[in-house]
């Protein structure tokens, strides 16, 4: 077998994270929701995937990522996502890509529980951002410097759900 096809010994062959669990066994709250880290990277160059489970309606502020594409996959419930000037409704099984440098905002709008997988590629500083903002167990604050320090631009408030 060619050396280029072999996995380095330092990389595990597989990694399983059970349903409802976090890769590190940690609890991370965002007030109206909780997040579980499913796939992380040590250097920010690879993938970062989290599962966001909502108990109430809402979502983050309007923002953009300088260097990350963000992919959403609705698992349970209904979500509204605006990317640029377009508005989309995601129901279970639907997915949507928000390309880097394009403003976007999203929210859970269902009546019961919402669950969405969110993938960032490359990971950049997203893991560090979520570790920081979940310390307060509230949605990320509208502090432009905090967002900028993690490779994003804060552009406006969350979606109005009224």
Q: Which of 82, 80, 71, 58 is nearest to 117 (CA)?
A: 71
Q: What pLDDT is stored for residue 14 in this prediction? A: 79
Reading the block at residue 108, the tokens are 């859970």
**What are the structural domains of the chain?**
19-152 (2.60.120.10)
* Torsion sign, CA atoms 73, 144, 42, 52: negative
Q: What pLDDT is stored for residue 17 in this prediction? A: 85
Average pLDDT of adjacent 10-residue blocks, the chain of 162 residues:
56 77 89 94 85 96 97 98 98 98 97 96 95 93 95 96 80
Q: What is the DSSP code string of the chain?
A: --GGGSPPTTS-S-----TT--TTS--EE-SSEEEEEEE--SSSSS-EEEEEEESSSB-PPEEEESS-EEEEEEEES-EEEEETTEEEEE-TT-EEEE-TTS-EEEEE--SS-EEEEEEEES-TTHHHHHHHHGGGTSSPP--HHHHHHTTEEEEEPPPP--
Q: What pLDDT is stored for residue 24 in this prediction? A: 87
Q: What is d(CA 108, CA 135) in angstroms, rounded to the nearest whole number?
A: 21
Q: What pLDDT is stored for residue 44 in this prediction? A: 73
Contact indicator for 147, 156 with CB cutoff of 8 Å: no
Q: What pLDDT is stored for residue 162 in this prediction? A: 73
């Amino acid at each position: 077998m060619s050396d280029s096809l072999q996995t380095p010994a330092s990389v595990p062959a597989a990694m399983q994270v059970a349903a409802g669990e976090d890769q590190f066994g940690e609890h991370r709250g965002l007030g109206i929701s909780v997040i579980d880290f499913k796939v992380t990277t040590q250097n920010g160059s690879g993938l970062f995937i989290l599962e966001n489970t909502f108990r109430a309606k809402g979502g983050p502020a309007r923002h953009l990522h300088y260097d990350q594409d963000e992919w959403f996959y609705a698992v349970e419930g209904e979500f509204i996502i605006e990317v640029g000037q377009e508005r989309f409704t995601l129901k279970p099984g639907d997915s949507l890509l928000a390309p880097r440098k394009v403003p976007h905002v999203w929210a859970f709008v269902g009546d019961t529980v919402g669950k969405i997988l969110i993938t960032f590629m490359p990971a950049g500083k997203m893991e560090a951002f979520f570790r920081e903002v979940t310390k307060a167990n509230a949605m990320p604050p509208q502090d432009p410097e905090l967002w900028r320090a993690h490779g994003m631009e804060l552009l406006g408030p969350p979606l109005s759900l009224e």
